[in-house]
């Protein structure tokens, strides 16, 4: 059957659902993988074909002298030395393990390193030995995460190579654990493929007629149905069956995955906070605004405090007109609380600049694409659109949780719908995946990362925003933006040369050290991740003025600053490369007396 959006009686008082449906039908894993399994092996291909039966290069955190076991074959003294030097620099031991079919050699590393660390070790080794053709981490590869839900194969929007969002690659890193998504909609049915991810929500509808549940606001967010007879929503309005719109939207975001049942939500380990603000004929702006405020943890008179505030708000709804003051104020309060607000562009095949809240400030406005990756025939467009996501089109709609009742609730079911209402929860799901791996992201950072990682449209999608959302790339961007927790390090002698530099496990870090004599020099080895900017501040105790130097792994001086008594020294460097950068930081007596210092390094 076809289903058209519910229209509000007044565009200024009520908002319409943004869902156009195609035929409703029944259609209907492996563990989540670690985000970076790292490796404890390195592959090294020498330009000659020498066989290495036993070569050992060793180093340790304090860089004790290393020794090499006898080399068998033609490994040169220079290559043996380069192996030891690289190991020393990275505080590991390397032992020859085996030879590959193409003549490369596999070295076992004494500890598991992150991929970035192993890449830095490989680069360091190759830079020190001209006889190396290539050196690279022996990466650990794993089976891609694919849910075992029987109808997953019918959800083209997750994995179709043209129009999908690359969900399987995103699931290898994140499934949304720890994130709450508020769905401000018609409420939700306790569908068995959704119930495990549902939180207690709230019904914000103040009109008993609109609510269709016998009362006004209450703590029951379940959907009683929004079907109406002809003329119920105003003279000339059509009859319509219940939409179960909030249930369908919620399933796109967080239908339970890997439960061998039904479908898979994009953030299938996230939680849904169902907030009922739409009922028969739509919903009032004032009710929706209160739901937005409460969803993010704000206070609403007469409503109990929200004990599970959401970091993502899904608004698959809208109406005509400019963004009203009430809606904008609610959106502003939600964003100030750290919530990402994601809104449907609308289904009228017109410019979304006249659709609210799609035209409000601070939201992520979503257009809809079909399986071709081009703009869906009904989707709104325009300069207010942020990006696009799969929402379905004729012949290829979006499968999710639903209910079979035409008026009151019936049997739980699955069904196909299409609309920007379906595209919006796809983006909300991506936001949940991103925040699951990096919960420090601000709403603006989430939006910027989504926009900067989109795929180009594979088919025509004029005025559909930056591009087609890419779940895998967005999650990777969120992960790469993680700032490690600061650590504190105490200087450990002897660290007075580059070769004996004290390894600092991670940055940001604060090193507490001391210059004990006029000739005392302290070296520290650090790794700066790709695309990060290192900042260094050196502060000496009263009466001291330590000097600062920074060097590359090959000993090239990047900076040398003389100290002044009572003055801190600062320096920064952006690592614009694709791999981690190893640097050596030197602290020495420069001015004033000897004494303690604090070396603060941040990224």
Q: Which residues are catalytic?
A: 185, 245, 421
Residues in the chain: 603
d(CA 184, CA 207): 16
Q: Which helix (H) or strand (E) holds 525?
A: strand 521-528
| 125 Cβ contact partners less than 8 Å away, ≥ 6 residues apart | 42, 44, 82, 83, 86, 132, 135
Q: Which helix (H) or strand (E) holds 119?
A: helix 115-127
> Which residues on neighbouring strands pair with residue 184, listed in sequence order?
275
78-115: burial string, b at 16+ Cβ within 10 Å, e else = ebbebbbbbbbbbbbbbbbbebeeeebbbbbbbeebbb
Reading the block at residue 360, the tokens are: 């409000």
487-490's contacts with Cβ under 8 Å and 24+ in sequence apart are 488/512, 489/524
Kindly give the pairing relationship between strand 544-552 and strand 581-592: antiparallel
Chain centroid, CA 575 distance in Å: 22
Q: What is the CB-side half-sphere exposure of residue 3 using CA atoms within 13 A? A: 27
d(CA 16, CA 357): 11
Residue recorded with tokens 């695309």 = 531
Residue 293 three-state SS: helix
| 236 Cβ contact partners less than 8 Å away, ≥ 6 residues apart | none
> Which residues on neighbouring strands pair with residue 275, listed in sequence order?
184, 202
Q: Are 533 and 572 in contact (CB under 8 A)?
A: yes
Q: Is the peptide bond before 3 cis (omega within 30 degrees of 0)?
A: no
d(CA 405, CA 391): 23
Q: What is the CB-side half-sphere exposure of residue 260 using CA atoms within 13 A? A: 1
For the chain, how far is it from start to end, CA to CA, in angstroms?
56
């Amino acid at each position: 059957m076809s289903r058209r959006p519910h229209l509000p009686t007044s565009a200024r008082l009520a908002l319409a659902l943004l869902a156009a449906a195609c035929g409703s039908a029944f259609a209907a894993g492996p563990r989540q993988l670690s985000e970076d399994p790292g490796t404890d092996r390195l592959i090294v291909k020498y330009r000659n074909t020498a066989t290495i039966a036993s070569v050992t290069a060793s180093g340790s955190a304090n860089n004790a002298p290393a020794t090499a076991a006898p080399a068998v074959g033609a490994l040169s003294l220079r290559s043996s030395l380069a192996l030891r030097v690289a190991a020393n620099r990275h505080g590991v031991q390397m032992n020859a393990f085996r030879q590959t079919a193409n003549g490369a050699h596999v070295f076992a590393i004494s500890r598991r390193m992150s991929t970035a660390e192993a890449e830095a070790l490989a680069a360091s080794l190759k830079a020190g030995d001209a006889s190396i053709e290539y050196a690279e981490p022996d990466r650990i590869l794993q089976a891609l995460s694919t849910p075992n839900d029987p109808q997953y194969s019918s959800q083209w929007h997750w994995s179709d190579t043209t129009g999908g969002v690359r969900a399987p690659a995103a699931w290898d890193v994140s499934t949304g654990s720890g994130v709450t998504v508020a769905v401000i909609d018609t409420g939700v049915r306790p569908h068995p493929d959704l119930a495990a991810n549902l939180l207690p929500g709230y019904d914000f509808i103040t009109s008993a007629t609109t609510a269709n549940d016998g009362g006004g606001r209450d703590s029951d967010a379940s959907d009683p149905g929004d079907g109406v007879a002809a003329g119920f929503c105003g003279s000339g309005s059509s009859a319509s069956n219940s939409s179960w719109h909030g249930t369908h939207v919620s399933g796109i975001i967080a239908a339970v995955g890997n439960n061998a049942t039904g479908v898979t939500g994009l953030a299938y380990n996230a939680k849904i906070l169902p907030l009922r603000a739409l009922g028969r004929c739509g919903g009032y702006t004032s009710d929706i605004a209160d739901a937005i405020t409460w969803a993010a943890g704000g206070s609403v008179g007469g409503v109990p405090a929200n004990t599970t505030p959401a970091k993502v708000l899904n608004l698959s709804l809208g109406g005509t007109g400019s963004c009203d003051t009430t809606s904008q104020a609610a959106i502003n309060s939600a964003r100030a609380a750290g919530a990402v607000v994601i809104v449907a562009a609308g289904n009228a095949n017109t410019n979304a600049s006249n659709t609210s809240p799609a035209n409000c400030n601070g939201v992520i406005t979503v257009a809809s694409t079909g399986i071709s990756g081009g703009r869906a025939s009904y989707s709104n467009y325009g300069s207010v659109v942020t990006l696009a996501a799969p929402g379905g089109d004729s012949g290829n709609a979006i499968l999710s949780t639903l209910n079979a009742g035409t008026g009151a609730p019936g049997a739980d079911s699955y069904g196909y719908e299409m609309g920007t209402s379906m595209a919006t929860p796809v983006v909300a799901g991506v936001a949940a995946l991103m925040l699951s791996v990096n919960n420090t992201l601000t709403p603006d950072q989430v939006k910027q990362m989504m926009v900067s990682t989109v795929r180009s449209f594979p088919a025509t999608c004029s005025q559909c925003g930056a591009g087609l959302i890419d779940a895998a790339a967005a999650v990777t961007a969120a992960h790469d933006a993680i700032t490690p927790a600061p650590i504190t390090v105490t200087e450990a002698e002897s660290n007075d040369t580059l070769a004996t530099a004290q390894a600092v496990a991670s940055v940001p870090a604060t090193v507490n050290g001391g210059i004990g004599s006029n000739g005392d020099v302290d070296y520290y080895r650090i790794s700066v991740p790709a695309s990060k900017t290192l900042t260094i501040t050196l502060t000496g105790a009263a009466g001291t003025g330590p000097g600062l130097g920074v060097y590359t792994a090959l000993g090239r001086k990047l900076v040398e600053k003389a100290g002044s008594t009572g003055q801190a020294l600062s320096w920064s460097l952006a690592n614009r490369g694709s791999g981690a950068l190893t640097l050596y930081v030197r602290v020495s007596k420069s001015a004033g007396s000897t004494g303690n210092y604090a070396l603060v390094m941040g990224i």
